[in-house]
Amino acid sequence: MPEQTPSPIAARAVQALRASTWPLLVACALLALWQGWTQWAEVPSYLVPSPLEVGRTLVADWPLLAPALMVTLKITVLSLACATALGVLVAIAFVQSRWIEAAFFPYAVLLQVTPIVSIAPLIIIWVKDPTASLVVCATLVALFPIISNTTLGLRAVHPGLAAYFQLQGASRWQTLWRLRVPSALPYFMAGLRISGGLSLIGAVVAEFVAGTGGTGAGLAYQILQSGYQLNIPRLFAALALISVTGIAIFLSLAAVSRALLGGWHESEAAPRC
Amino acid sequence: MLAIDGASLTYPNGTEALRPVHLQVAQGEFVSLLGPSGCGKSTLLKLMAGLLRPTQGQLQRPGLSADTTGELAFVFQEPTLMPWADVQTNVRLPLDLAGMARHEALPRVHDALARVGLADFAAHRPAELSGGMQMRVSIARALVTRPKLLLMDEPFGALDDITRHRLDEELLTLARAQGLSVVFVTHSISEAVYLSDRVVVMAARPGRVTHVQTLAQQWPRDADVRTSAEFNAQVRALQAHLQRAFDDTHA
């Protein structure tokens, strides 16, 4: 009897399941060890709460944590979007002339190496709107990988193709749009994956510095408050939400990368089975 | 189609890249440039393409209009395709760059793909094709502008012999059918003899033309020609000239 070939979507689902089996097993084992250790050693929950207790707190405090998660998520997504738009524009400006790049690249580096906690207070004073000030901080954290990777990618054009475009009398704009931008896509995606994580870190750090409370309170504020109140299970619950958010950002950017580069770039070539 | 009257190229530092060349290429003629590395074959081809300007002498393209884009096509040693775009988009590129409307461009693209035998592969990406097929796409991209003069810089140099012979045959058929003038750079003597009306032998340091051989074989040529006595005599004659060019280089 002939074997039925599974549909591509089913095949991909099976593959994803297979790929995530081991990490999930490790997670289960670690959680079990953690649970066992806290029970066996009778660790007080104000030091290290058990995973079950963290889970219970997550459910119980959900009305408090969910809005905080939405705030942090909003700042992360907005800052990643700003960093992407700004980073790509700066990179395009850089490749227009070596002169522009030489003049301005050091300032991009300066922004990257200046710790955000040291300039966040200034930004918070200058930018009145609390959300906007946090977005500015997180954008600054996430910006550099996009600038540097995209610039590199826009320059990393196949010399033969560049010669072909020249021979065909392609305009600067045509060369940018039809040759440089697609060539830069793999580099840009690599930068975006780094910046995805950085924008979350930037958002959390900025919240810490700003200490915004009330309706604009994000997960970082919940962590600070929980720390002051020694509500360690809630602190862990907020921490878990931040981690899950980070993983979700990583996975969704990986999916975007696969969708954009899947058919042609080596980095997303189909894995051999 | 192409008249080179004493064109030479000397680099600003005084290095003679190419001594004055006198060469005419007629409409529908197939001319090969044969010679060792550094003999100025590619330089001469770039002069013909207008990518370089001669330091002295003249180079005219009486068969072409002033704006040569489209009438003159260049095929590189590598396929130089856009890996992110499918075959059809790759072949359409020169028309897109020239600003041709899509409904006008698509029939031409299908026509060019059919000519190189890739009509069924329009939606494939280059990575899904073999080296020989990628080269065919590159040739289709050159044909899509309906050029009168085709300049090819060792286009099949990186391919295996069987693929190379097949593409030689296909190229010959195409060039004959469309009355294309072709200037073809190659390392291979037998490829030059198989394809050409005339073979230009060049020597290096400084790059110069040492011999022009007109080939007497009759058309149409097919694969059997390669084993004929006349073919081998031509190959041997060219080999002797090429050997002399090599010896001159190393003297």
Question: Which residue is it, tokens 């040759």?
Answer: A179
For the segment A256-263, the average pLDDT, to the nearest whole number, is 89
Domain count for chain B, please give it.
2
> Which residues of chain A make contact with B125, given a CB cutoff of 8 A?
263-264
pLDDT tens digit string along A175-201?
Answer: 999 999 999 999 999 999 999 999 999
Please state, as a whole number, how many other Cβ atoms lie within 10 Å of the Cβ of residue A243: 11
Residue B70 lies in a domain: no
Q: Domain ends where: B147, B164, B185?
A: B147
**What pLDDT shows up at residue B220?**
62
Q: Domain ends where: B128, B147, B166?
A: B147
Query: Which residues make Cβ contacts (< 8 Å) with residue A134, sequence separation at least 6?
Result: A75, A79, A203, A206, A207, A210, A212, A218
CA dist., res. B248 & res. B251, Å (int):
5
B48 and B58 Cβ atoms separated by less than 8 Å:
no
- Measured in degrees and rounded to the nearest 5, phi and psi for residue B91 equal -70, -30
Task: Tell whether B133 and B204 lie within a shared domain.
Answer: no
Bridge partners, B7 (sequence order): B21
What ipTM describes this predicted complex?
0.83
pLDDT tens digit string along B93-112?
Answer: 999 999 999 999 999 999 99
Residue B69 lies in a domain: no
Residues 81 through 110 of chain B touching chain A, CB cutoff 8 Å: 81-85, 93-94, 96-98
pLDDT band at B230 (very low <50, low <70, confident <90, very high): confident
Strand ranges inside A106-233, DSSP E = none
Task: Tell whether B160 and B111 lie within a shared domain.
Answer: no
Query: Which residues make Cβ contacts (< 8 Å) with residue A225, sequence separation at least 6?
Result: A213, A231
Q: Is the peptide bond before B220 cis (omega within 30 degrees of 0)?
A: yes
Tell me the residue range of the domain where B195 lies: 2-64+149-250
Could you give the count of Cα atoms lying within 13 Å of A104 in the half-sphere of its Cβ?
A: 17
CA dist., res. A52 & res. A64, Å (int):
19
Q: Domain ends where: B147, B171, B200?
A: B147
> Which residues of chain A make contact with B83, given a CB cutoff of 8 A?
264-265
Residue B73 lies in a domain: no
CB-neighbour burial class of residue A72 (10 A; exposed 0-12, middle 13-18, buried 19+): buried
**What pLDDT shows up at residue A2?**
47
Question: Which residue is it, tokens 């549909």?
Answer: A7
**What pLDDT shows up at residue B69?**
63
Q: How far is CA A53 from CA A58, A232, A240, in A?
A: 8, 10, 12
**What pLDDT shows up at residue A273?**
40
**CATH number, domain at B157?**
3.40.50.300
Task: Tell whether B140 and B153 lie within a shared domain.
Answer: no
Contacts 24+ apart (CB under 8 A), A214-219: A215/A67, A216/A71, A216/A130, A216/A131, A217/A67, A217/A68, A217/A71, A218/A68, A218/A71, A218/A72, A218/A75, A218/A134, A219/A65, A219/A68, A219/A69, A219/A71, A219/A72
Is pLDDT larger for residue B223 or for residue B233?
A: B233
> Which residues of chain B make contact with A264, given a CB cutoff of 8 A?
83-84, 125-127
Query: With b meaning 16 or more CB within 10 Å and e meaning fewer, what string describes B93-122?
Result: bbbbbeebeeeebeebbbebbebbebeebb
Task: Tell whether B86 and B196 lie within a shared domain.
Answer: no
Is pLDDT larger for residue A266 or for residue A256?
A: A256
Is the confidence at residue B82, as pLDDT, over 70? yes
Instruction: Read off the pTM.
Output: 0.83
Task: Tell whether B156 and B137 lie within a shared domain.
Answer: no
pLDDT tens digit string along A22-64?
Answer: 889 999 999 999 999 999 999 998 899 999 999 999 999 999 9
A172 → chain B, closest CA residue = B97
Is pLDDT larger for residue B94 or for residue A12?
A: B94
Of the candidates A44, A50, A57, A47, the one whose C-alpha atom is nearest the C-alpha of residue A32 is A50
Domains of chain A, residue spans: 1-43, 50-268
CA dist., res. A259 & res. A261, Å (int):
6
Tokens linked to B137: 């796409």
Interface check for B207 against chain A (CB to CB < 8 A): the answer is no
A157 and A179 Cβ atoms separated by less than 8 Å:
yes
Q: What is the CATH number of domain A50-268?
A: 1.10.3720.10
Task: Tell whether B153 and B229 lie within a shared domain.
Answer: yes
Task: Tell whether B59 and B156 lie within a shared domain.
Answer: yes
Task: Tell whether B228 and B203 lie within a shared domain.
Answer: yes
pLDDT tens digit string along A161-172?
Answer: 998 998 888 999
- Largest Cα separation within chain B, whole Å, is 58
Residue B71 lies in a domain: no
Q: How far is CA A190 from CA A176, A197, A250, in A?
A: 20, 12, 11
Length reported for chain B? 251
pLDDT tens digit string along A205-219?
Answer: 999 888 766 656 899
Query: Which residues make Cβ contacts (< 8 Å) with residue A25, sequence separation at least 6?
Result: none
* B51 contacts A264? CB cut-off 8 A: no
Q: How far does A70 lie from chain B, in Å, by closest CA?
A: 37
> What is the rounded radius of gyration, in angstroms, for the C-alpha atoms of chain B?
18
Question: Which residue is it, tokens 């704006």?
Answer: B67
- Measured in degrees and rounded to the nearest 5, phi and psi for residue B150 equal -115, 120
Q: How far does A168 lie from chain B, in Å, by closest CA?
A: 6
Share of chain A above pLDDT 90, in %: 65
For the segment B159-179, the average pLDDT, to the nearest whole number, is 86
Identify from B82, B91, B124 which residue to disrupt to test chain A contact, counting A C-beta atoms within 10 A and taking the largest count.
Answer: B82
B135 and B167 Cβ atoms separated by less than 8 Å:
yes
Task: Tell whether B24 and B84 lie within a shared domain.
Answer: no
Task: Tell whether B168 and B230 lie within a shared domain.
Answer: yes
A162 → chain B, closest CA residue = B80
Task: Tell whether B142 and B163 lie within a shared domain.
Answer: no
**What pLDDT shows up at residue B218?**
67
**What pLDDT shows up at residue A270?**
60
Residue B72 lies in a domain: no
Task: Tell whether B199 and B93 lie within a shared domain.
Answer: no
* A264 contacts B126? CB cut-off 8 A: yes
> Which residues of chain B make contact with A168, given a CB cutoff of 8 A?
69, 93-94, 97-98
